[in-house]
Amino acid sequence: MTTRALRRPVRPSPMALAAAALIAAAVAGASALAAPAAGPEAALLQDSEIVVNLAIEGTESAEGLAAFDATVRFDPAVVAVEGVAPGDALPEGSDWLDPVPDGDDGVFFGSYHEGDGPPGRDGTLATLTFRVLGSGAANIRLDRSASGAYDASGGSIVPPARMALVGLPVAPIYLPVGRR
Amino acid sequence: MNRTRSRLAALALTLVVTLGAASGLRSLQGAPSGTNAIATVGRVSATGPGAQVVHTLPLSNTGETAVEFDLRVVDAGDWPVELPDTIYVDAGAATTVTIAVDVPLRAPDRATDVTTVALGGDGAPVVRLVAWTGGTFDMTRTLGCRFDVVPDGAIDAGDVGLVRDRFGARRGDERYAPALDFDHDGRIGAADVQAVAGRSGAACASTDVYDSAVLREAVTATNIREHLEGLQAIADANGNTRAVQTPGYELSVDFVVRTLAETGWDVTTPEFQYERRVEVSPGFAERIAPDPLVFPSAEVVAFTNSGSGHVTATLQAVDVVVPPSAAPNGNTSGCEPTDFAGFQAGRIALLQRGTCPFQAKVLNAMTAGAVGILIFNEGQTDRTAAYRTSVGPLVGVPVIMLSYALGQALVDQLAGGADVTVHMAADWQATTITHHNVIAEWPHGDPDRVVMVGAHLDSVPAGPGINDNGTGSATLLELARQVSIADVRPPNRLRLAWWGAEEIGLVGSRAWVAQQAAAERDRIILYLNFDMLGSSNWIRGVYDGNASLSSNAAYPAGSAQVEMSFQDYFDGLGLTHNQVAIGSRSDHAGFLASGIPAGGLFTGAESPKSPAEFALFGGTEGAPLDACYHRACDTIANVDWTVIEEMSDAVVHVTLGYLHDPVFGLAALRAQPVGGSAASVEAADSAAGALGGPLLVADENWGCHGHGPFHSHDEDF
């Protein structure tokens, strides 16, 4: 698996942005993580996209966000990862760590920051785009046992419980009969 | 990343872990107050951010009832500590407590004592609290070399790149490396990349100029004592000994290995074997003719390492003196080959104790064709009984000691012109014993320039061996710990050795040297040996590397320079010192025989303090330098803490000096021999080749070895 450094966030696809807008509306409130999971209520068609955000809160009271990593799991028979892009919570000039598979049902990704500068903040750490492959429950979830946020020394700054996926599909993904 | 811990300490700034027993400690048998005592713990320390240290602390219940207690972390700051659950210790038994400490990556970039650990009660009546209060090591040098993963003395983009290239690698993957998993969660993640990236631009200690002051200050008698407490506890729980062929030795090996766990040292426990001979049935001797007589068993003792089998042959006396001289050693029976000028091959030789080692008498007799050998005691007061001693290495014919009375009677018969025929038998069976040395290598520095430092770990059966040689072993352990804490990155490579079976003939070290290929031995630029560093009536003895005490000895080139290094150090501090003959009575012998320069320190064994030594060092003139040498009383109470502090500092200073020496080494010194000659080196090389295979024969004379290189061999003649 190759890695590359992205000095600025990658712009997600228009569809992802649309979905993210829906998510943002859904999660707007006192806490980025307090809102219930939200997302398309209608069945999604094969080859359509699902966009979810990985959000974090509680960074203001910690040492300062410099890095994070996360493992997101899913049902590989239902969805596949199309891409993972950095979010707006990361410090300016962060270096992106390209996603790597974590078994058959997971993806591991993250970022770090070298040098001085203001730390990151509460908000979106990453935006994940999935493509629908088949019918069933996508079961997209954050593996908190393999996720964390870190300060400039690499020390953990907030419990993984302060990280969450937002914008998850509420209902299972159905494919219309005859579509496949 | 898995941040969960079963017992995560509460957040606090003070770095103190206490294994409290206030709530869980109880006597299983409801012992009355004060009848139980749990003792021996130690200090838990770590080496800065990202360190993972697993400490194993010996624990012995010196009380009269079994105890059970739960451990809990009272306060460990935010340093995760893992503790075992309930500990149960039988009365008089010993166990160990394993404490794992992960130092967070956010910790200050310096070496730090995590804590004082105390096991036991907080005043609870049945268990006495024993605690050490450790300080904090403030190292003046920049640490953090663990993040210099492409070792070049600086933490830079190359280091960051190496770690990020492994992003996502998990334990078991080819790309995974424990050294890169700074947060010890089993995967190279963003925390690990950030740990390096966050320190980018910093220097590490690899370019430090040699200065032993920091490490000398860190290697203290107090710390050494903690290791000695552990060795003492092992002996206490195992019959007051740590000798090979007892559980106490293997537990000592385990103690060293566990103390070094997770400190960054590469630790191995190579096996060595030796042959121990066990007497299956007692030695036997009888006169067949004239006047058949079975000799009383109390007056017949087979020598250790005697050959086995039955022999019946004519007896012939060799240069005996009966009646004996007034003073011991009044005969030279069998000492010279010429004594056997008239000896007829195929006979049994009748010899007399005195003047030269038994081994010499036996070898001369065998050379003359003796098929059996009887040696009777010389005959003076206290030199009349038959007793068990060794002939040295295994011989091929039965060798039996007789009382003087039996010997005298046989000599009288022979003098009267009788042809005396004797039947004699010895029955020894060989058993192969396997033990382990402990070898620890600090994985930094040039592997082709190894500074090797050793101490023997075993005791004699008669005692716990705390001065001999717990002191040397504990000094090396503390040196290892502090090298790890300071993350020393010397140009040369440091290898430490804890030898086994030194007390029965330098077996472990000789076997290890013999196991090394010539090319591997050539990588060792010198060997330092430390055998007894805390004698109660001490001297500051330095091995005589320039052979100034021996008219007929020459040691490998470089040994003299090692001697001078110690002398210079003591001179610089205004500390008196003296030379001790280097000899071959401790573990340096195998190295010298291989042509490797060697040196060391020694504070004294059983020899009485001479007037000259008294003038130099004070103490008690005429009293043994170590009155408990090879005795049951060689306990932790037998150690002089002042001298071990001084000697351990010298160990640190000279060891570090050679670790930073770019020139010293046999290859460089062969052109300019000092003390030994080039010829002597070649001879030593030849001798090394004669060390033989890995199977050695132990000297059954427990106690003949191990009192340093410094005394004439008490061959017991």
Distance (Å) from the alpha carbon of A174 to chain B's nearest alpha carbon = 33
B-chain CB neighbours of A147 within 8 Å are: 1
Record: contact B191-A3, CB cut-off 8 A:
no
**So what's the pLDDT on residue A6?**
33
- The secondary structure of chain A in percent helix, strand, coil, rounded to multiples of 5, reads 10, 40, 55
Q: Which of B502, B563, B613, B646 is labelled catalytic?
A: B502
C-alpha B234/C-alpha B242 separation (Å) is 7
**8 A C-beta contact, residue B476 and residue B223:** no
Record: contact A95-B197, CB cut-off 8 A:
yes
Which residue in the set B2, B167, B191 is minimally distant from A154, CB to CB?
A: B191
**So what's the pLDDT on residue B137?**
24
B-chain CB neighbours of A112 within 8 Å are: 164, 190, 193-194, 197
**8 A C-beta contact, residue B383 and residue B353:** yes
**So what's the pLDDT on residue B109?**
58
Q: pLDDT confidence of B550, banded at 50, 70, 90? A: confident
Record: contact A154-B198, CB cut-off 8 A:
yes
pLDDT for B646 beyond 90 = yes
pLDDT for B123 beyond 70 = no
pLDDT for A95 beyond 50 = yes
- Please write the tens of the pLDDT for every residue from B511-548: 999 999 999 999 999 999 999 999 999 999 999 988 88
pLDDT for B129 beyond 50 = no
Record: contact B105-A150, CB cut-off 8 A:
yes
Q: How many CB atoms lie within 10 A of CB B119?
A: 26
**So what's the pLDDT on residue A23?**
36
- The domain segmentation of chain A, as residue ranges, is 35-166
Looking at residue B431, its amino acid is T
Which residue in the set B1, B50, B193 is minimally distant from A112, CB to CB?
A: B193
Q: Of B420, B388, B404, whose CA–CA distance to B330 is shortest?
A: B404
% of residues, chain B, pLDDT over 70: 73
pLDDT for B303 beyond 50 = yes
Integer distance in angstroms from the first to the last C-alpha of chain A? 32
pLDDT for A29 beyond 50 = no
Record: contact A63-B187, CB cut-off 8 A:
no
CA A21, A26, A31, A35: dihedral to nearest 10 degrees?
-140
C-alpha B624/C-alpha B630 separation (Å) is 12
pLDDT for B158 beyond 50 = yes
B-chain CB neighbours of A154 within 8 Å are: 49-50, 105-106, 182-183, 191-196, 198
B-chain CB neighbours of A151 within 8 Å are: 106, 194, 198
Phi, psi of B406 (to 5 degrees): -65, -45
Q: How many residues does chain A have?
A: 180
- Please write the tens of the pLDDT for every residue from B176-220: 988 899 988 899 999 999 999 998 887 765 434 456 777 888 899
Q: pLDDT confidence of B635, banded at 50, 70, 90? A: very high
Which residue of B110, B167, B184 to mutate against A (max A Cβ within 10 Å)? B167
* Average pLDDT of span B143-167: 84
Q: pLDDT confidence of B578, banded at 50, 70, 90? A: very high
Distance (Å) from the alpha carbon of B154 to chain A's nearest alpha carbon = 15
For residue B202, what is the nearest residue in chain A, using CA coordinates?
A: A115
User: Does residue B502 have an active-site annotation?
Assistant: yes
Q: Among the listed ranges A166-180, B7-21, B492-506, which one has the minimum average pLDDT value?
A: B7-21
Place of tokens 């130690």: B42
Q: How many CB atoms lie within 10 A of CB A100?
A: 17
**So what's the pLDDT on residue B60?**
65
Scanning A128-147 for CB atoms below 8 A from B yields: 145-147
pLDDT for B491 beyond 70 = yes
**So what's the pLDDT on residue B62?**
64
pLDDT for B58 beyond 90 = no
| Long-range contacts (CB closer than 8 Å, 24 or more residues apart) made by B605-613 | B605/B468, B605/B532, B605/B535, B605/B629, B605/B707, B605/B708, B605/B710, B605/B711, B606/B630, B606/B707, B607/B710, B607/B711, B609/B537, B609/B539, B612/B578, B613/B539, B613/B578
Which residue of A69, A145, A163 to mutate against B (max B Cβ within 10 Å)? A69
pLDDT for B106 beyond 90 = no
Task: Using DSSP bridges, classify how beta strands A141-150 and A67-73 pair: parallel, antiparallel or unpaired.
Answer: antiparallel
Compute the count of residue pairs across chains A and B with CB atoms less than 8 Å apart.
105
**So what's the pLDDT on residue B75?**
46
pLDDT for A139 beyond 60 = yes
Distance (Å) from the alpha carbon of A100 to chain B's nearest alpha carbon = 6
Which residue of B193, B199, B200 to mutate against A (max A Cβ within 10 Å)? B193
Q: Among the listed ranges B108-112, B135-139, B237-241, which one has the minimum average pLDDT value?
A: B135-139
**So what's the pLDDT on residue B132?**
24
B173 interfacial to chain A (CB closer than 8 Å): no
Scanning A41-100 for CB atoms below 8 A from B yields: 63, 66-69, 95, 97-98, 100
Q: Among the listed ranges B169-173, B272-276, B450-454, B661-665, which one has the minimum average pLDDT value?
A: B661-665
* Average pLDDT of span B408-434: 93
Right CATH for A35-166 from 3.30.1340.10, 1.10.15.40, 3.90.1150.10, 2.60.40.680: 2.60.40.680
Look up residue A33 and give its two tokens.
């993580």
Distance (Å) from the alpha carbon of B450 to chain A's nearest alpha carbon = 35
For residue A109, what is the nearest residue in chain B, using CA coordinates?
A: B168
> What would the DSSP string read from start to end of B429-495?
EEEEEEEE-EEEE-S-SEEEEEEEEEEE----TTS--IIIIIHHHHHHHHHHHHHHHHT---SEEEE
**So what's the pLDDT on residue B204?**
66
Which residue in the set A102, A154, A159 is minimally distant from B194, CB to CB?
A: A154
Record: contact A153-B49, CB cut-off 8 A:
yes
Record: contact B164-A159, CB cut-off 8 A:
no
A-chain CB neighbours of B3 within 8 Å are: 148, 156, 159-160
A177 interfacial to chain B (CB closer than 8 Å): no
pLDDT for B715 beyond 50 = no
Q: Among the listed ranges A10-19, A64-73, B657-666, which one has the minimum average pLDDT value?
A: A10-19
More confident residue, B640 or B551: B640
Mean of all residue pLDDT scores within chain B: 79
Record: contact A160-B3, CB cut-off 8 A:
yes
* Average pLDDT of span B357-363: 93
**So what's the pLDDT on residue B125?**
23
Q: pLDDT confidence of B78, banded at 50, 70, 90? A: low
**So what's the pLDDT on residue A73?**
97
Task: Using DSSP bridges, classify how beta strands B524-530 and B446-456 pair: parallel, antiparallel or unpaired.
Answer: parallel
